[in-house]
Chains A and B, each alone.
Chain A
Amino acid sequence: MKFNRRGFIGTGMAATAVVGAPMLMAEGKPRVVVVGGGAGGATAARYIARDSKGAIDVTLVEPSRSYYTCFFSNLYIGGFREMASLAHSYGKLASETGVNVVHDWAIGIDRDARTATLAGGAVLPYDRLVLSPGIDFVEDAVPGWDIRQQNRMPHAYKAGSQTELLKAQIEAMPQGGTFAMVAPPNPFRCPPGPYERVSMVAHLLKEKNPTAKILIADPKNSFSKMALFQEAWGRYYDGMIDWIGPDFGGGDVSVNAEDMTLTIDGEVTKVDVCNVIPAMKAGRICALAGITEGNWAPVIGHTMQSRIDQNIHVLGDASAQGDMPKSGFAANSQAKVAAMAIRGALTGSKVFPAKFSNTCWSLLATEDGVKVGATYEATDEKIAKVDGFVSQTGENTEMRRATYEESLGWYAGITSDIFG
C-alpha cells in the first residue's frame, strides 16, 4: 500500500486521501484487536471505538485489572504522589466506548490466519491488530541480574509493585547508606526517567537520610535534560549524587544481588539499594509475531503500520519509528494517528496527514518542574522531528512552579484521554 502525500502538499487544506479502499467485510463488522492497555493501546482502542461509533468491533487485551502509569511513578518515590493516584481501571473504556476488555495475555499471533491467541485459550480473529506491549528487558544486559533478582535489585521501570518495593528499600536504607542506579543504554523508555528518579530519590533521602549517597553508573555520555538535572542536583542535593559516565567505566558494570555489590570498571562497591534498569527491547509479543528487527518493531510513520506486516500497527515504546522518544505522550500521539488510519482502512473514513507531538515533564524538587517537547511529522523514511524546545537553566521559581502545575494538568488530561 502506498500513501499518497501529494494530496497534502500545495493547498495545505484538510486532505481527504483514503488509505487503501474500505475493506469489504464478508462477515459482519470489521474487527480490531489491541494488545496492551497502556498509553498507546488504550488510546487506540478508545479512539477507534468512539470515533467509528460502533462500526468497528474493538477488543483490548490487557492482563492488568488496574493499570499503573509509569509516568509520574517517580513522583510517588519522591513523596509527591500516592500510588493509588497512578492506578486506572478499564471500566469506562468498556462502558463509554463499548470496547471489549479482556484481561488476559496474548501469547501468539498467527499472521496468515490473522488471529491472536491468548494464554486463557481464546483465539481472536482480527482485520487489524494493534500491538502496544511496551518494553521488556534484554536478557543478560547487566551481568549478574535477571528477573529472579528483581526483588533484591528492583528495576521499577514497569510501575506498580516494583515501584513500591524500590521506595520501601530506599526508606529502609541505613543512615549514610548508598543508593545505586544502573542506567540503561539508548534507546529506552522515558529518556529523562532515570534522572528524574535520581532527583526524587535525592529529595526523599534529603528529608530522611541526608548523609546518604547516590551513585549512578551510566553507559551514556549525555542524557535528556542533562544541564537541567545537573543544575538541580547542584542546587538541591549538593554532594549527594555521583554520576559515573562511560569515560569512568559507567558502561562496564555487573552486579551481585546476593552480596548487594555493584562492580564498576572492576571496582566493587557495596550498596544498600541497587536500582538496575537493564537495556530494553519491544514487548515480547512483537518478537513472537515476527515483526521485529533487532530489539524493536519498525513501523511506517504515516500510519504506524509494521514494515513487515501491514495488518499490524505497533505503537509506543515497542516501535522503531524515528525521532520520537519512547514516552507515554508519544504512544498516545501515535495511537491517534493509527486509529485514524485503521478507521480509514476499515470503514473508509477520512484520513488526514499524520501529526505527532510529545512533551516530557520532569520534577527536580518541590514545585520545580522542567519540560522538553517537540512536534513531528511522518516522512516515508521515519517520523521526523519538526520543531522542539526545552526548559532553560536558571528559570525563576514561578515559571518552574507553573511548569510543575502544568504537568499535573497534563497528567489529569492524558489519563482522561486514555482511560476516560
Chain B
Amino acid sequence: MRGWAPLVLLAVLTGSATFAEETAIGIGDPARGERLFQQSCGSCHQVGDGATHGTDEGAGPHLNNIFDRKIAQFADFSYSEGINRARRDGMVWNLGNLDAYLTNPKLLVSGTNMNFRGMEDAGDRGDVLAFLRQFSSSPQDIPEAAPTALKQEVVLGPEVLSIVGDPDYGEYLAAECTTCHRRDGDYQGIPAITGWYEEDFVLAMHAYKRQIRPHPVMQMMAGRLSDEEIAALATYFAALE
C-alpha cells in the first residue's frame, strides 16, 4: 500500500504493536510546543489573544478554547463536509481526538481540508497540545474539564498496514456496505466510499473499530471486521470507479 512511510517508521522505531496498552502521560512542554506550533501549524492557524480564522485559501479556524469544544462550531468558518459530518456525529475535540488528528488528520476525518501529513512523534504532539491547552479552560478553573494527561495510543503497527487485501473476499464483504453506501459512488446523506486511497480507507475503518471516530453504525460494522477483512474491503473499494 502507498503512503505509509511515516506511520510505519514510527511503529518500527518505537517497537509498538497496534493500539498499544494505554498509558497516561503528561501532555508535554508548552514552550517547545509553541516552537513546533509556529513551524508546523502557524501558517494556517492562529491561537492566543486576538486570534482570528485564517483568511487565506486553505487556512484554518483559530484554536482558542478548542479543548472539549464540539467539532466545527464556528458559524463564520466554512468547514469541509467531512468535518461537518463529524460534528453531526457528535465528535468533541477532546485530548484523544486532538492527538489522533495531529497524528494523521485523515485518521479522524476523511476528506478534511487540513492539508497536513501528520506529526509522527508522540512527544512532539504532546508538546503542541500542551501549548494549545493554555488557551482553553483548565481543570483547576473548571473541575470537570478534561484531563491534561494523554492516554497514549499508537496508531497502527506495520503488521496491520502491510496486509494485502483479498479482492474476492472484499467483493463479498462489500455487499454489506453497499446496502447503504452506493456502489456507483453517488452520495446522498451517506458518504461515498468508492475510489478512496486504500490507506485512507484502512485508517478510517480502524478508527471506527477502535471507536476513535463516532457513529454507532460504523463503530458496530467496523468493530467486527478483522485486519484482513478491512484490507480486503479497502482493496475492493479502491478499485471501484
* A contact residues vs B (CB 8 Å cutoff): 12-14, 47, 51, 329, 332-333, 336, 340, 350, 352, 355, 357, 359, 371, 373-375, 377, 386-389, 398-399, 401-402, 405-410, 412-414, 416-417
Name B's A-contacting residues (CB within 8 A): 85, 87-90, 166, 168-169, 171-173, 175-176, 178-184, 186-190, 216-217, 219-221, 223-224, 226-229, 232
How many inter-chain contacts with C-beta < 8 Å in the A-B complex?
A: 101
Asked if A355 and B176 make an inter-chain contact with CB atoms under 8 angstroms apart, the answer reads yes
Chain A residues lying within 8 Å of B169, measured Cβ to Cβ, are 14, 350, 352
B178 nearest in chain A by CB position:
A417
Are A336 and B176 in contact, CB atoms less than 8 angstroms apart?
yes
Partner of A409, one of B183, B189, B219, B221: B189
* Contacting residues, chain B, for A388 (C-beta < 8 A): 220
Q: Is there an interface contact between B172 and A373, defined as CB atoms closer than 8 Å?
A: no
Q: Are A410 and B179 touching (Cβ within 8 A)? A: yes
A386 contacts B217, C-beta separation under 8 Å: no
| B168-A14 in contact (CB<8A) | yes
Q: Is the CB of A12 within 8 A of B228?
A: yes
CB-based contact A374/B220 at 8 Å = yes
| A401 contacts across to B, CB distance below 8 A | 88
11 residue pairs of the A-B complex, CB under 8 angstroms, read A14-B232, A333-B179, A336-B175, A355-B224, A357-B176, A371-B217, A389-B217, A405-B189, A409-B190, A413-B181, A416-B182
**Complex alpha-carbon distance, A340 and B171, angstroms:** 11
Q: Chain B binding site: helix, strand, loop or mixed by DSSP? A: helix
In the bound complex, what is the Cα–Cα distance between A412 and B219 (angstroms)?
22
**Other-chain residue from B190, B220, B228, B232 in contact with A413 (beta carbon distance below 8 A):** B190
With A413-B181, A416-B184 in contact, is A387–B223 under 8 Å at CB?
A: yes
Q: Are B226 and A402 in contact (CB under 8 A)?
A: no
Inter-chain contact B220/A412, CB cutoff 8 Å: no
What residue in chain B is nearest A390 (Cβ atoms)? B216
Known: A14-B169, A412-B182. A333 touches B188 (CB 8 A): no
Q: Is the CB of B180 within 8 A of A409?
A: yes
Establish whether residues B224 and A406, one from each chain, have CB atoms under 8 Å apart when the complex forms. Answer: no
The one of B166, B180, B187, B226 that contacts A12, using a Cβ cutoff of 8 Å: B226
> Chain B's nearest CB lies how many Å from the CB of A3?
16
Chain B residue with minimal CB distance to A11?
Answer: B228
Query: Residues of A contacting B184 with CB < 8 Å?
Result: 416
Closest CB in chain A relative to B61 CB, distance in Å: 19
Which residues from chain B contact A371 at a C-beta distance below 8 Å?
217
- Whether the pair A389, B220 counts as a contact (CB closer than 8 A) is yes
